[in-house]
């Protein structure tokens, strides 16, 4: 994710997506056209999904729907059957409320409005992508906003020198801080897991990683090896597959259809007995965006079913 990022290449993989969705439907998942007005993705009946049985809560990063204001985006997310979200501090709230973003800068009445709109759709704001620096007063405002909104984990890329102060706030507010990685560049300080681990060293368990598998691939790294390195410090994830490794501009594709070997990624999470929020962030915007997200959800559920079966005696 980058709030300065331009629109991605719009070339499609329609046939691959149709083939993938057909396979996802076979894994006890139902998909319907978004235009039908009902949920485009739903778990089997009202029972607990396989992903939930593994302790995985699937969320959506609002950057996925950055083309839309927050209030429009969350309706689309809810129709996909997703119950958890991760807004970002720089994304707009509503087209008829210019200048307002989903951030700690919102006045009290707008925060209440935001909470009410999420609640009406059955959504919970479990993660929040925040802008954090060494400014303690601002950081406190971020934590206060997060606490008010019911956030469990802040996702951010703070400077190294901010961590002593931020760790204290994490413990005071009982909120986690997950360090996010962007692709390797002169300004990307946490592109490699070793860099994330270096700022976690000596910190409380509330400081850890938000692993972005797509950005690891864009940096030429192996996601499974990176996850192994972060074992014990993995708090949350941005689930992302890309069409080509080693290229910062490589575009997203539905999970399981790119070069990430996402079956192995999810198997590694299962091996680590990871339980927590897995956030789908899909940066490739296109007219088939909601279909692509449904394919991602279907793949995770299909793999969860397989992993559950493998652990049976």
Q: Is the predicted pLDDT of residue 21 greater than 60, yes or no?
A: no
Nearest by Cα to 180 from 144, 234, 245: 234
Least reliable range by pLDDT among 33-37, 122-126, 234-238, 241-245: 33-37
CA 245 to chain centre: 20
Show the tokens assigned to 237.
């994830």
Asked if residue 46 belongs to a domain, the reply is yes
Section 107-117 average pLDDT? 98
Q: For residue 123, what is the DSSP state?
A: -
Q: Is the predicted pLDDT of residue 312 greater than 80, yes or no?
A: no
Calpha distance 109→237 (Å, rounded): 31
Asked if residue 245 belongs to a domain, the reply is yes
Least reliable range by pLDDT among 17-31, 48-62, 98-112, 243-257: 17-31
**CATH number of the domain that 144 lies in?**
3.20.20.150
Please classify residue 248 by burial: count the beta carbons closer than 10 Å to its beta carbon, then call 0-12 exposed, 13-18 middle and 19+ buried: middle
Section 6-33 average pLDDT? 37
User: Which band of pLDDT confidence, cut at 50, 70 and 90, is reported for residue 1?
Assistant: confident
Cβ atoms 298, 79 nearer than 8 A: no
Show the tokens assigned to 38.
């009902």
HSE, side-chain direction, 13 A CA sphere, residue 113: 13
Encode pLDDT of 259-278 as tens digits: 999 999 999 999 999 999 99
Asked if residue 4 belongs to a domain, the reply is no
Range of the domain at 126: 14-308
Asked if residue 8 belongs to a domain, the reply is no
205 Cβ neighbours under 8 A, 6+ residues apart: none
Asked if residue 221 belongs to a domain, the reply is yes
Section 66-75 average pLDDT? 98
Q: Is the predicted pLDDT of residue 29 greater than 80, yes or no?
A: no
User: Which band of pLDDT confidence, cut at 50, 70 and 90, is reported for residue 247?
Assistant: very high
**Residue showing tokens 């279909």:** 291
pLDDT of residue 19: 38
Asked if residue 92 belongs to a domain, the reply is yes
Strand order in 153-156's β-sheet?
124-125, 84-86, 56-61, 276-280, 234-239, 207-212, 176-180, 153-156, 127-129
Show the tokens assigned to 219.
């940096």
Alpha helices (H) in the chain, listed in sequence order: 14-25, 50-53, 70-79, 108-120, 136-149, 163-173, 193-200, 213-218, 223-229, 262-271, 289-310
**Residue showing tokens 């996850």:** 227
Q: How many structural domains compose the chain?
A: 1
pLDDT of residue 313: 55
Q: Is the predicted pLDDT of residue 212 greater than 50, yes or no?
A: yes
Q: Is the predicted pLDDT of residue 12 greater than 80, yes or no?
A: no
User: Which band of pLDDT confidence, cut at 50, 70 and 90, is reported for residue 26?
Assistant: very low
Show the tokens assigned to 205.
């368990």
pLDDT of residue 223: 98
Encode pLDDT of 161-204 as tens digits: 999 999 999 999 999 999 999 999 999 999 999 999 999 999 99
3-class SS at 308?
helix
CA 148 to chain centre: 20
295 Cβ neighbours under 8 A, 6+ residues apart: 17, 20, 21, 24, 254, 255, 257
Give percent of the chain with pLDDT exceeding 90. Answer: 83
pLDDT of residue 109: 98
Number of separate helices (H) and strands (E) present in the chain: 11, 13
**Residue showing tokens 């692509």:** 292
Nearest by Cα to 30 from 307, 308, 301, 309: 301
């Amino acid at each position: 994710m980058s709030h300065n990022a331009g629109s991605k290449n719009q070339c499609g993989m329609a046939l691959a997506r149709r083939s993938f969705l057909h396979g996802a439907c076979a894994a006890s998942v139902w998909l319907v056209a978004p235009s039908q007005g009902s949920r485009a993705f739903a778990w089997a009946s009202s029972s607990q999904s396989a992903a939930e049985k593994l302790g995985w809560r699937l969320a959506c990063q609002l950057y996925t729907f950055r083309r839309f204001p927050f209030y429009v985006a969350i309706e689309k997310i809810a129709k996909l059957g997703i119950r958890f979200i991760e807004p970002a501090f720089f994304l707009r709230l509503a087209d008829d409320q210019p200048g307002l973003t989903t951030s700690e800068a919102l006045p009290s009445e707008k925060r209440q409005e935001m909470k009410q709109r999420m609640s009406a759709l059955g959504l919970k704001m479990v993660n929040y992508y925040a802008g954090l620096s060494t400014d303690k007063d601002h950081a406190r405002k971020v934590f206060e906003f997060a606490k008010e909104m019911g956030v469990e984990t802040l996702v951010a890329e703070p400077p190294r020198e901010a961590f002593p102060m931020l760790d204290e706030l994490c413990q005071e507010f009982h909120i986690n801080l997950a360090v996010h990685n962007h692709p390797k560049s002169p300004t990307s300080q946490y592109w490699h897991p070793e860099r994330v681990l270096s700022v976690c060293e000596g910190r409380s368990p509330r400081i850890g990683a938000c692993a972005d598998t797509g950005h690891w691939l864009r940096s030429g790294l192996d996601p499974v090896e990176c996850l192994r390195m972060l074992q014990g410090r993995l708090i949350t994830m941005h689930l992302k597959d890309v069409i080509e490794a080693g290229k910062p501009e490589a575009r997203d594709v539905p999970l399981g259809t790119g070069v990430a070997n996402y079956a192995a990624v999810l198997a590694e999470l299962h091996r680590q007995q990871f339980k927590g929020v897995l956030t789908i962030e899909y940066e490739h915007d296109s007219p088939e965006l909601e279909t692509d997200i449904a394919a991602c959800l279907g793949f995770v559920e299909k793999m969860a079913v397989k992993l559950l079966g493998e652990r049976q005696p």
